[in-house]
Chain A
Amino acid sequence: MEKVLTKNIRDNREPMWIAEYEKAGGYEAFKKALQEFKPTEVADLVKSAGLRGRGGAGFPTGVKWSFMPRFEERPEQRPAHVYLVVNADEMEPGTFKDRLLMEGDPHQLIEAMAIASYAIGADIAYVFIRGEYTECQRKLQRAIDEAAEKGYLGEDILGSGFNLKMHLHMSAGRYICGEESALLSALEGRRAVPRHKPPFPAASGLFGQPTTVNNVETICNVPHIINHGADWYKGLGLHKDGGTKIFGASGHISRPGLVELPLGTKLSDVLDHFGGVRHGHRLKALLPGGGSTPLLTDEHLNTPMDYEGVGAVGSRLGTATMVVMDETTPIVGVLKNLEHFYAQESCGWCTPCRDGLPWVERILTNLEAGHGHPGDIELLDLHVKLLGPGKTFCAHAPGAMGPLESGLKYFRDELAALIPDDQDTLGLTQPANAVSNS
């Protein structure tokens, strides 16, 4: 299978620096875009390629770009700045794919950002990186400096009249920073609290200016679409969605790691690339694409791993970095771990999320400790409804409910069995000889 995003990446992740990257065909797509395409034509090409966001939501990238206001015909109305922001705040539990792209091939991301900035008319681009990714910071900063030195960034790039500045922003750490509008709040130097939409960032984003936010892996596809065309890109997928995907596996898997495969590769085949479930064990469940994606089980092994395929079996492709659990795994422990994460990382802005998630965590903690109460399972059901899509300000709490709802669906009996039959041991029932004060 043809490697697209990872073709330049070496096992030791030592990147191709600019001379080697150019020798391998790097920055040719950027030159081609500047010389042969109008900005709107780049956006149209990406739209017809069917590229969808790889950060978890799967929104069509070209469509997102088409929301940006155009000022070519009315330059006098152009705002002070138009922004591209790359979301590299990779904090979804189980997800480690963007790190590979930033550490292994930083120039690919910079070239992609330059093309995307041209397509949307941005003059300033930021990479918003989680604070712990210091190796990504070091390599990307060197690559940005090299690109600027070569004239791929700065003023009047390659004589095209296009200007672009590029900066890194190292986050100080909160999962909510990965939410598109919260990320913009963080970039503005404030608490990473999500914003109401509309207005969407294309209308009012960073500092109130038109802004597009794209994930690292998503945007890294762009130079290849420019080089090879929309039909080539669509043909890379095996099912309905085009392109390749970086799949990952961690947890109870024989050879944890990352691999680039066509979108739509069957789940069992993806697992085979990692040597399958660890030796001597069988699959109990997996999170298909990070901590917020509903669990799948061994009944889903024939699922094509693309947006529609995983959606059709009640989950989401998410980041496609799978967390695998074998039959020794207590599901209550998995859910408690995940809900602890979401409770802790709630930004606290809206009440259902701020108060509901710790309650869910407490119920699961009690169940795990053997201190569950009758009605706990129904209380968890209630939270799934009350913290679900549309009930909270952003997608943080609904994301937290994904694994919980699926856990209740597939492992309800296992969870219910944790509630002690004899509630007297919990001190909940009144002793028969108790004397009332009334």
Chain B
Amino acid sequence: MKLSETEIAAIRHEMTLYEDPGAATIEALKIVQEHRGWVSDEALEAAAAVVGVTPTQMEAVATFYNLIFRQPVGRHVIMICDSISCYLTGYEEISAYLKKILGVEFGQTTADNRFTLLPIVCLGNCDNGPAMRINTDYHGRLTPEKVDAILAEYP
């Protein structure tokens, strides 16, 4: 498969920012993911060709980092913080509630493809725990009622 001209241009720009253009592997994966929602094997190989690294090198990176998705995700990705400040302020209740109303476990996507539910390490929103991130939006001091209202904002 071929990447789009927009993806290739964005990756080539990143390659100019480093002494070794191969340093753009991580950013290349993120660019592909931004355009396709996730990184398929074919997209990974195409991105590796643009950066000039082997697919194996690209795969090593793709499987290491938390924010690279190697499986399809839903339209919105919910990441709920499971670290200590959120644990102390009610993370377990909120994550159990999310699993119940969405009918999924961590790592799964709802049947209507609307939400993927993931745990994430400390979001740096500790003063607003329990906290979660949907796509790039932060939501804090969560309660089950608040979660209902927030999810309604993501059709």
Contact = CB atoms under 8 A, between A and B. Distances in A.
B84 interface: yes
B17 to A, nearest CB: 5
A65 interface: no
Given A94-B85, A251-B84, A172 B124 contact: no
A340 B18 CA distance: 35
Contacts of A206: 19
Contacts of B22: 188-189
Interface string B111-155: 000000000111111111100010010000000000000000000
Nearest to A251: B88
A341 interface: yes
Contact of B126 (A95, A169, A190): A95
A132 B133 contact: yes
A207 B20 contact: yes
A263 B117 CA distance: 41
Contacts of A110: none
A192 B64 contact: yes
B27 interface: yes
B23 A94 contact: no
B19 A80 contact: yes
A134 interface: yes
Contacts of B40: none
B110 interface: no
A96 B121 contact: no
Contact of B124 (A80, A95, A171, A174): A95
Given A93-B122, A94-B83, A189-B23, A174 B66 contact: yes
Interface residues of B, number: 42
Given A189-B61, A251-B85, A134 B124 contact: no
B23 A187 contact: yes
A188 B25 CA distance: 9
A191 B83 contact: no
Nearest to A131: B67
Interface in A79-96: 80-81, 90-96
B22 to A, nearest CB: 5
A15 interface: no
Contact of A256 (B25, B53, B121, B127): B127
B127 A91 contact: no
A186 B61 CA distance: 9
B20 to A, nearest CB: 6
B122 A94 contact: yes
A81 B79 CA distance: 38
Contacts of B133: 132
B61 A191 contact: yes
Interface string A341-365: 1001101000000000000000000
A257 B127 CA distance: 5
A187 B19 CA distance: 11
A191 B87 contact: no
A175 B127 contact: no
Given A93-B121, A344-B121, A250 B129 contact: yes
A170 interface: yes
CB-based closest 5 A-B pairs: A172-B65, A173-B66, A250-B126, A256-B127, A93-B83
5 contacts: A95-B122, A190-B57, A207-B23, A256-B127, A341-B82
Given A80-B19, A131-B67, A132-B123, 17 more contacts: A130-B124, A132-B124, A172-B26, A172-B30, A173-B67, A188-B18, A189-B20, A191-B60, A207-B18, A248-B126, A248-B127, A250-B85, A250-B88, A252-B88, A256-B128, A321-B126, A334-B84
